[in-house]
Chain A
Amino acid sequence: MSTQQHREDLVAAPSRFPLREVALFALLMAAILGVYATMGAAYSTRMLVEAACYAILALGLTIQWGYAGQFNAGVMGFVALGGYSAMAFSMPVNGEFWASPLSGELGMVMLMALGGVMVVVGASRLHHLGVPRRLRTGLAVALALLFYLLVSARMGVVTEQIESQFGYIGGLGLPPWLGWIIGGALAGVVGYFIGKVCLGLRSDYLAIATLGIAEIIKAVLKNADWLTRGTATVSPLPWPVPGPAEVGFTLARALYFSVTALMIVAIFFLLTRAYHAPWGRMIRAIRDNETSAAAMGKDINHRRLEIFVLGCILMGIGGAALGSFNGLFDPQGYLPLNHTFLVLVMVILGGPGNNLGTLFGAFAVYLIWVMSEPLALAVLELAITFGEGSFGWDAPTNLDSRALQARVFVIGLLITLVLRFAPKGLLPEKVKHHG
């Protein structure tokens, strides 16, 4: 490898004019203005807000993947958790449910579950009291199965009644931003447990585990009708800013955009500070050479967990903001393609580990993503009219859904091409050599 030359490219000369950054962002700006000119202000502002929410997700992924080299393939799960939290906190209180005896029964089941967990945890620590390890394990497993069956049977009865009588338990009637914060915390807690299990293992396992947990979170949200109304969906979710009904589409969306933009600025500032602080240097040292970092006395697993949880929190917050903006909580609407792989493309195209690059990637890729649907449809239609004219094909009827599939292909192609030809992204991380 030609390390010497390679390195010179990457060293940031302090006085260098950031030509590449300026050019890319100017191009992006021009593209956005172009969209404004062709698609109208209301549509384009909506696109900007969604892109901003995705940018928060991408910043979450870039600290996991770019700063620490952890690959999270389950962004969707954390996004869905955030969306759920935004819904649960901001929807009005379901007074009928809380006044009925069912709320008490639900509480009893929860207490039972908590008690069961405590008994099982207690049983799993029995070896401290001199019980043989084998007996302890057997006892804990048997107790866990028993309590699980008891609680789930009880739970099934209560939730069925809730569903048939009240639909779902309703929200808490609190301001949406509180739900966003709690959504971040919720995602962080889930991330903590996944990280605890998988971060010590090979990196592939983390990808498999996160992919699985995302599907499970979605399955739970989709089927726990008493909690989320499942496929019946919940809408409209309140906004933290005046809604379109009060001030009109464009202004309401612009206000929402300013909220998300403020969030991005705050997160960006904090992340950049952290990156340049000794903490960021330590994280990069761990990423680049784990063994030597460990030899320097850094607690690798602890730091990795810290980073992973931090990324998950950002994803939860971004997902909550996105959920509130959509105004509709639909668990089925969370798709790996839209909420995991799109974010992945944003990060690897923009430049993993470079916050500015990630921001650029988020906006640019979202623009391409949104614009690709009408484009693919137009191309398909052109092909069909051409085909019908010259070969006498009969056109497939479900053209729109097929055009959407072309998008799947393009995202996949983009991932492989970027990995192959620009593995460091369009705005690569600048490696500074200190001292």
Chain B
Amino acid sequence: MNELVFFINYVVVAGSVTGSIYAIGAVGVTLVFSIMRFAHFAHADMMTFGAFTVLLLTTAFPGAGAALGLPTAVVMLPLAMLLTAALAVGIDKVFYKPLRAHGVKPIVMVIASLGVTLMLQGLIRLFAGTSGQSLYVDDRKEIFRLALPFEGARAPIVVTEPQVILFVLTIVCVVGLHLFLSRSRLGKAMRAMSDNPDLARASGINTNLIVAVTWVIVGALAAIAGTLLSLDVTFKPDLSFFLLLPIFAAAIVGGVGHPYGAIAGGFVVGFAETLAVFNWGVLLRPFRDSLPEWLASADSLAFVSTEYKIVVPFVLLVAILVWRPTGIFKGKVI
């Protein structure tokens, strides 16, 4: 039984955590992909920016959380979302809009977004330094231990407070996004523009407004994902390059331009990562006596060691590009 608990702790919980974060990140990437039609490399840095804003706000008002019974960082999240959304719209105004007006190729936009990535990275590290910091400035991280009602299950299932918040917020985001895209006028206009921008413009949709709204959503989602990630571990000013590949992998696995696909892709990538580094030898332990000796003696049966975790999203990405370029959900190849 303990092995099962181990499996739940290290695969089910950990996989859902990374999966949710990748999912929220990938939705942002995929929205930019479908509306603006370029791979937005600065997304991971927007996530970092959002988390950094939360950190600043939390240090500024450390007492705000206690009043509501939530961690201060979560209370500050809406404000950070607003600021990140403003940043996203501002970046678009200054850097991407002029290029769009010139009618450049998408790849030039990609390079511009690389430039934006570097600028954001430089600014964040200039102010935040390069070491990791905890978002729990004043509060304590609560840890819930759930004992299983079985004989022989000694170890409890461990879930931390930020993980619970993460699951709740992920569900809220997904449902909110679904309602927005399927019910609201703006959401429908967004989908129309993603399907065919010329036709959308011709039918009187204000494309400038749609672009701005997209950036607002993308910025807000980036702030949420970045903050949740930093709540779960620590805030690191240089996490963007490690996030970029899994997020793009998730967006492409799910099918580019397909928000629901991005969510599914996020979980696929998150679970693939956890399963690949998981030590399968643990699950074999209860059956040690009945196994052949060479298998029982192997105490580390992981597909890749943790140092090579970054390879997993890449392999998934390449596999999808080779066998099914449209992704699981048949997104479009723009």
The answer to whether B241 touches A405, judged by C-beta atoms less than 8 angstroms apart, is no
Report B-chain residues with C-beta under 8 Å of the C-beta of A202.
106, 333-334
Report A-chain residues with C-beta under 8 Å of the C-beta of B95.
416, 420
The answer to whether A415 touches B115, judged by C-beta atoms less than 8 angstroms apart, is yes
The answer to whether A223 touches B307, judged by C-beta atoms less than 8 angstroms apart, is yes
Q: How far is the CB of A76 from chain B (nearest CB, A)?
A: 11
Chain A residue, CB-CB nearest to B120? A412
Chain B residue, CB-CB nearest to A401? B130
Which one of A178-186, A207-215, A265-273, A312-320 is at the interface?
Answer: A207-215
The answer to whether B112 touches A416, judged by C-beta atoms less than 8 angstroms apart, is yes
The answer to whether B317 touches A209, judged by C-beta atoms less than 8 angstroms apart, is yes
CA distance A414 to B311 in the complex (A): 31
Name, among A198, A212, A341, A423, the residue most crowded by chain B CB atoms within 10 Å (CB to CB). A212
Which one of B5-13, B183-191, B318-326 is at the interface?
Answer: B318-326
The answer to whether A416 touches B119, judged by C-beta atoms less than 8 angstroms apart, is yes
- A370 sits at the interface (CB 8 A): no
Report A-chain residues with C-beta under 8 Å of the C-beta of B286.
none
The answer to whether A204 touches B39, judged by C-beta atoms less than 8 angstroms apart, is yes
CA distance A411 to B125 in the complex (A): 14
Report B-chain residues with C-beta under 8 Å of the C-beta of A125.
none
The answer to whether B310 touches A419, judged by C-beta atoms less than 8 angstroms apart, is no
Give the number of residues in B that approach A within 8 Å (Cβ atoms). 51
Main secondary structure of the interface of A (DSSP, over half): helix
- B146 sits at the interface (CB 8 A): no
Contact of B121 among A216, A408, A414 (CB under 8 A): A408
The answer to whether A408 touches B118, judged by C-beta atoms less than 8 angstroms apart, is yes
The answer to whether A204 touches B321, judged by C-beta atoms less than 8 angstroms apart, is no
Contact A197:B245 (CB < 8 A) given known A409-B119, A419-B108: no
Contact of B311 among A205, A208, A216, A222 (CB under 8 A): A216
Chain B residue, CB-CB nearest to A348? B111
The answer to whether B129 touches A416, judged by C-beta atoms less than 8 angstroms apart, is no
Report B-chain residues with C-beta under 8 Å of the C-beta of A405.
121-122, 125-126, 130
Report B-chain residues with C-beta under 8 Å of the C-beta of A13.
none
Q: 1/0 per position for A111-125, CB-CB distance to B under 8 A?
A: 000000000000000
Report B-chain residues with C-beta under 8 Å of the C-beta of A283.
none
Contact A208:B317 (CB < 8 A) given known A201-B325, A408-B125: yes
The answer to whether A215 touches B245, judged by C-beta atoms less than 8 angstroms apart, is yes
CB<8 Å pairs between A and B, sample of 5: A212-B310, A402-B129, A405-B121, A408-B121, A416-B116
